[in-house]
Amino acid sequence: MKIQNDPTPEMQPSGYACIQRYVKTLDSSPGVYRMLDADSRVLYVGKARNLKARVSNYARPGHSGRIERMIASTASMMFLTTRTETEALLLEQNLIKQLKPKYNVLLRDDKSFPNILVAKDHAYPQIKKHRGAKKEKGAYFGPFASAGAVNRTLNQLQKAFLLRNCSDSMFDSRTRPCLLYQIKRCSGPCVDLISKEDYRESVKDAERFLSGRSTKVQEDLAEQMMAASEAMEFERAAGLRDRIRALTQVQTSQGINPRGVAEADVIGLYMDSGQACVQVFFIRANQNWGNKDFYPRVGADVSAAEVMEAFIGQFYDNKEPPRQLILSDAIENADLMQEALSEKAGRKVELLVPQRGEKQELVAGALRNARESLARRMSESATQAKLLRGVAEAFDLDAPPTRIEVYDNSHIQGTNAVGGMIVAGPEGFMKNAYRKFNIRGDDLTPGDDFGMMKEVLTRRFTRLQKEDPDRDKGMWPDLLLIDGGAGQVSAVHEIMQTHGVEDIPMVGVAKGIDRDHGKEEFHRIGQRPFALKRNDPVLYFIQRLRDEAHRFAIGTHRAKRAKAVGATPLDDIPGVGAARKRALLAHFGSAKAVSRANLADLKAVDGISAGLAQKVYDFFHEKG
């Protein structure tokens, strides 16, 4: 890979003249080019089979309005030559995701998808949801479109195959069966209520079902049910009947399960009024494992082929592609994309645009979902835009806000205190921008809400000034909403003045008379409190924002409190990990008993060496 810099060190002209000067320095190598503005911000990233020919196209007039604006803003360019065009394609998509250029089609939601894992590192394998890198030993089935789809499937699989979902540590510590056994969701392997051989057969059945061989599994269960019934083992027959019913429920919830498509992602694209929705259906083992919609950033004059190609390149950048991608729209470089995905997967990956048959029906279903999803989103966006205009009018803002930050705190008598920040904008709640703040102030009085809010806002603005000093990355809010009245508003105003931030409007939302919904009062610095009419849509909008902030802060606080409940002084002893902690607690019964134990008793614990026993003894007795 070769990097090519500016042709001359002196000041470059902009627009067509700038591009024409670069053309003279290029050859016919494949590679990636970047267009930059006068502040060196990346405007566009593109790939080329022939850099000279591709960039020459930009040096001549006759482009769409979007490309003309991009060319006019171009002040410099950068080039990376590659050995192959496939390498250029992969590099282009990687740079687009990393740099997020203004004029590229950009996939904004790029989360990983969950799988079902049948773990194989235990005599009694565990079945569970898994997300992220596939590092654990076991069989993976997926991806599923959402955590909800996985949870529903797991719930039914537990009924059907009675596999455990508890952690290994919980499994090892059981002395009697848990509630899941009582409600017939587990076969009780933790207390030897099922043999290893029978449990292993249940695991194989679950894997066969998840691999698409569900008919054989159900036939076997049906035969067992009939045999049990004939032997007058009616309770066992009823249990088998319930298991068959659970499998049927999984298949019903999956909707259409295609017979002729074993493994594919069905991708439907619908575009309208400069917006796009991409609907992806995940087909694995001839089963529909759910669908998810995406809304890439596009322009009014972008073609469907360009959007589809950009989506595929970015979507599979960090995901393993299936054997087939069934598309609603053809892409320009289908052979190149197919080669790149096959290279990534280590096997053949096909791109298909079907015109008839079952595959075309699958695409039609994806397109219908994409069209309906985009219509709903556009309707919601129009409503949201109207509400934001109402917010601007209610609080005398210069323009409708594009980023509203809402803050709230949560604690119980000052313990496990956390601050929460939620963000909303033209497209609703921006959940990937939510932030939590563990309150660290040692000098705070328990329950000091003013002090907590000061700490949260101090940390927030300190970070903003460090990460986005020029306010050009969209990280700064247009409006702050604080849960509280005049006191909180005054405290936040003081923090903002300290950081030299006095141009961001800030409003305190107080409960008002009787702390009742609909009687909220709004506080601003230097102005009298006021209220909105009880049926004002803007008031309902503010209430939703405040309630979301409260929900987020409460959830974060509960998670912190739950973690603290399981904590013991043993966590602070060097060398005492989870296994040794369990051994000590199992031997002595409690952390308090461990702290009182003598050295000889500590040495008697399985897995605790003489040296570690001395460390544990010294830890408690030096502190005391």
pLDDT, residue 382, reads 87
- Residue 27, domain CATH: 3.40.1440.10
Question: Confidence band (pLDDT; 50, 70, 90) for 76?
Answer: very high
Model confidence band, residue 369 (pLDDT cutoffs 50, 70, 90): very high
Residue 398 forms part of a structural domain:
no
Angle between helix 334-345 and 85-99 (nearest 10): 80
Any domain includes 236: yes
The answer on 80 and 16 residing in a single domain is yes
Structural domain of 270? 263-375
Tell me: pLDDT of 562 over 70: no
At residue 553, the pLDDT reads 86
Which pLDDT belongs to residue 201?
A: 85
Residue 538 counted as domain residue: yes
Say yes or no: 427 and 496 in one domain: yes
Residues 414 and 306 in one domain: no
pLDDT confidence of residue 510: 87
pTM value is 0.70
Tokens of 51: 């850099």
- In order, the DSSP letters of 201-258 are HHHHHHHHHHTT-HHHHHHHHHHHHHHHHHTT-HHHHHHHHHHHHHHHHHHHHT----
Residue 389 belongs to a domain: no
* Residues in CB range of 195: below 8 A, 6 or more apart: none
How confident is residue 387, by pLDDT bands cut at 50, 70 and 90?
very high
Q: CB–CB of 545/481 below 8 Å?
A: yes
What confidence score (pLDDT) does residue 425 get? 92
pLDDT tens readout for residues 290-325: 889 999 988 778 899 999 999 999 999 888 899 999
Tell me, yes or no, whether 167 and 208 share the same domain.
Answer: yes
The 10s digit of each residue's pLDDT in 155-210 is 878 887 888 988 888 888 888 888 888 888 898 999 999 998 889 888 888 888 78
CATH assignment of the domain containing 583: 1.10.150.20
- Asked if residue 42 belongs to a domain, the reply is yes
Residue 434, Cβ neighbours under 10 Å: how many? Answer: 17
Closest CA to 365 of 303, 302, 248, 283: 283
Report whether 118 contacts 139 (CB < 8 A). Answer: yes
Number of separate helices (H) and strands (E) present in the chain: 20, 19
- Indicate whether 624 pLDDT > 60: no
Peptide bond into 143 cis (omega under 30): yes
Same structural domain, 559 and 583: no
Q: What is the pLDDT of residue 301?
A: 82
In this predicted structure, what is the pLDDT of residue 286? 82
User: Could you read off the pLDDT of 242-257 as tens digits, one per residue?
Assistant: 777 766 666 555 556 6
Q: Mark which of 99, 132, 163 sits at the end of a domain.
A: 99
Whether residue 389 has pLDDT greater than 60: yes
Do 90 and 232 reside in the same domain of the chain? no
The token duo for 441 is 């102030």
Average pLDDT over residues 135-149: 85
Q: What is the CATH number of the domain that holds 334?
A: 3.30.420.10
- State how many domains the chain has: 5
Confidence (pLDDT) at 411: 62
Kindly state whether residues 237 and 153 are assigned to the same domain. yes
Pair (244, 120) in one structural domain: yes
pLDDT in the model for residue 9: 42
Confidence tier at 519 by pLDDT (50, 70, 90): confident
Question: What value does the mean pLDDT of the chain take?
Answer: 84
Q: Which of 253, 286, 310 is the last residue of a domain?
A: 253
What CATH number is given to the structural domain containing 451? 3.30.420.340
Q: Is the pLDDT of residue 240 over 80?
A: no
| Per-residue pLDDT, 3 | 59
Residue 312 lies in a domain: yes
Domain end among 253, 283, 307: 253
Clarify whether residues 340 and 362 are in a common domain: yes
Does residue 491 share a domain with residue 451? yes
Query: 277 and 239: one domain?
Result: no
- 197 inside domain: yes
| pLDDT, greater one: 473 or 497 | 497
Question: Percentage of residues in the chain with pLDDT exceeding 70?
Answer: 89
Mean pLDDT of 413-429: 81
| Residue 392 predicted with pLDDT over 90 | yes
d(CA 227, CA 243): 15
| Residue 564 structure tokens | 């603290």
C-alpha distance from residue 45 to each of 81, 85, 274 (Å): 13, 15, 20
pLDDT tier for residue 216 given thresholds of 50, 70 and 90: low
Q: For residue 191, tell me if it sits in a domain.
A: yes
Q: Which residue has the higher pLDDT, 416 or 609?
A: 609
Residues 346 and 276 in one domain: yes
